[in-house]
Amino acid sequence: MASDRRIGVLARHLGVEMDSQSHSANVISASPTSGFQANSVFSHVVRAPEDPILGVTVAYNKDPSPVKLNLGVGAYRTDEGKPLVLNVVRKAEQQLVNDRSRVKEYLPITGLADFNKLSAKLIFGADSPAIQENRVTTVQCLSGTGSLRVGAEFLARHYHQRTIYIPQPTWGNHPKVFTLAGLSVKTYRYYDPATRGLNFQGLLEDIGSAPSGAIVLLHACAHNPTGVDPTLQQWENIRKLMRSKGLLPFFDSAYQGFASGSLDSDAKPVRMFVADGGELLVAQSYAKNMGLYGERVGALSIVCRNADVAGRVESQLKLVIRPMYSNPPIHGASIVAFILKDRNLYNEWTIELKAMADRIISMRRQLFDALRARGTPGDWSHIIKQIGMFTFTGLNSAQVAFMTKEYHIYMTSDGRISMAGLSSKTVPHLADAIHAAVTRAAYN
């Protein structure tokens, strides 16, 4: 019978033994799925743990409680707790959609040329000498993460020092991105738990003892997770030290405009390093400041000594990108270029950006006041001193676990909370939870 023959072929394919009389009955009665599972070529694969940051949302989504609160992921929410699409983004998208001349052809390997030019201008400043001297190469990448990865892959292939120093603590993805790109990761002291501020002395000592030429990852502003940034004077000292030792700065700029509400102020540390004529890398993300999280829009810029080097560096960046994802997506970069090019939209963007930054600052004040009103033990002034999207509360992992279990508040186990996920309505709930966590001895 034809069906018997087909079953026989399938059985041989699956490595099932049978005699010619009984095979049809055997195969039909056996569960086909159990056979597949037993023979999977992937049966040795162990389940990986959830990503420590994105896993917070996975756990949050499973919680049926109506009072649950997700302060884990760094995504902006309105005071009603809703995700926000900026008005300027909606306007730009509408106009892009209405423009029938736009097509969906591939972008070049380096991305949208206008987007690259405007992104460099945004971070380095309109009158940047490095841009005027054509010694910056900028390539469009997949948001901040992709820009870091492309930069790191380039360094691993073409830079003489493979060691990168990252702050302790830092964004959890940094060590993975750099290690997988082939760099060797070391840390420098950054945060002082006693003051909940910068460990400036430790930072200078560690960077000062790095081998000559080492790469140093610097958060351009709004350090994640601590919310602690060096002052401009401290940045100047860091710059002098790094330049004197020939260390290579790699800036991660994921929050330009989000820290102070001003795009120019937040770019000052990067511009200080560019002004001295030295070389550096910058990874930019438009996830937070334009709310384009899922569009994956970012840029990697490498500032070089001269235009000739910049051109050669760009040619090698293409060789990094081409086998990775060929070329970047067109939609998000078109939105950004449209907004950055149009004076009115740009101005509107800066107003919306400032409103987001101000709402976060007001959440800091409200949470601080709420803890003070409850008489919560401890000094909570770091909540208003820290900057950007996150507050590094100082709560320990047991206290965090308690707040999740008893109050359905989700956050990373290092005690980091996203201020952008908080609203006037949810501040009291969070303050109650923190108060309970720090006053119950068992969790201290």
Catalytic center residues:
171, 252, 288
Residue 149 CB, nearest approach to ligand PLP (Å): 9
- Angstrom CA distances, 145 to 77, 282, 297, 367, stand at 21, 12, 10, 31
Q: Which of 172/278 has CB closer to ligand PLP?
A: 172
Amino acid identity for residue 267 in this structure: A
Q: Which of 219/408 has CB closer to ligand PLP?
A: 219
Residue 171 CB, nearest approach to ligand PLP (Å): 4
**Residues near ligand PLP (CB under 6 A):** 74, 143-145, 171, 219, 224, 252, 254, 285, 287, 298
What is the C-alpha to C-alpha distance for residues 284 and 140, in angstroms, rounded to an integer? Answer: 9
Residue 357 CB, nearest approach to ligand PLP (Å): 15
Residue 148 CB, nearest approach to ligand PLP (Å): 6
Alpha-carbon torsion (430, 169, 203, 233), positive or negative:
negative
Residue 128 CB, nearest approach to ligand PLP (Å): 22
Residue 145 CB, nearest approach to ligand PLP (Å): 3
> Residue 192: beta bridge partners?
197
Residue 386's contacts (CB-CB under 8 Å, 6 or more residues apart) are 196, 226, 227, 228, 364, 392
β-strands 248-253, 280-285: how paired?
parallel
Residue 355's contacts (CB-CB under 8 Å, 6 or more residues apart) are none
Residue 114's contacts (CB-CB under 8 Å, 6 or more residues apart) are 337, 341
Q: Which of 199/285 has CB closer to ligand PLP?
A: 285
What is the C-alpha to C-alpha distance for residues 110 and 317, in angstroms, rounded to an integer? Answer: 8
Q: Which of 258/407 has CB closer to ligand PLP?
A: 258
> Which of 290, 273, 291 is CA-nearest to residue 282?
273
Q: Which of 293/443 has CB closer to ligand PLP?
A: 293
Residue 47 CB, nearest approach to ligand PLP (Å): 25
What is the C-alpha to C-alpha distance for residues 203 and 239, in angstroms, rounded to an integer? Answer: 12
137: part of which helix (H) or strand (E)?
strand 136-142
Residue 296 CB, nearest approach to ligand PLP (Å): 7
* Burial class of residue 66 in the structure, from the number of CB atoms within 10 Å of its CB (0-12 exposed, 13-18 middle, 19+ buried): exposed
What is the C-alpha to C-alpha distance for residues 297 and 204, in angstroms, rounded to an integer? Answer: 33
Q: Which token pair is 12?
A: 């041989």
Q: Which of 165/380 has CB closer to ligand PLP?
A: 165
What is the C-alpha to C-alpha distance for residues 15 and 329, in angstroms, rounded to an integer? Answer: 44
What is the C-alpha to C-alpha distance for residues 392 and 254, in angstroms, rounded to an integer? Answer: 17
Per-residue DSSP letter, 251: E
* C-beta of residue 154 within 8 angstroms of C-beta of residue 240: no
Per-residue DSSP letter, 107: P
| HSE-CB for 311 with a 13 A CA cutoff | 5
Phi, psi of 248 (to 5 degrees): -100, 115
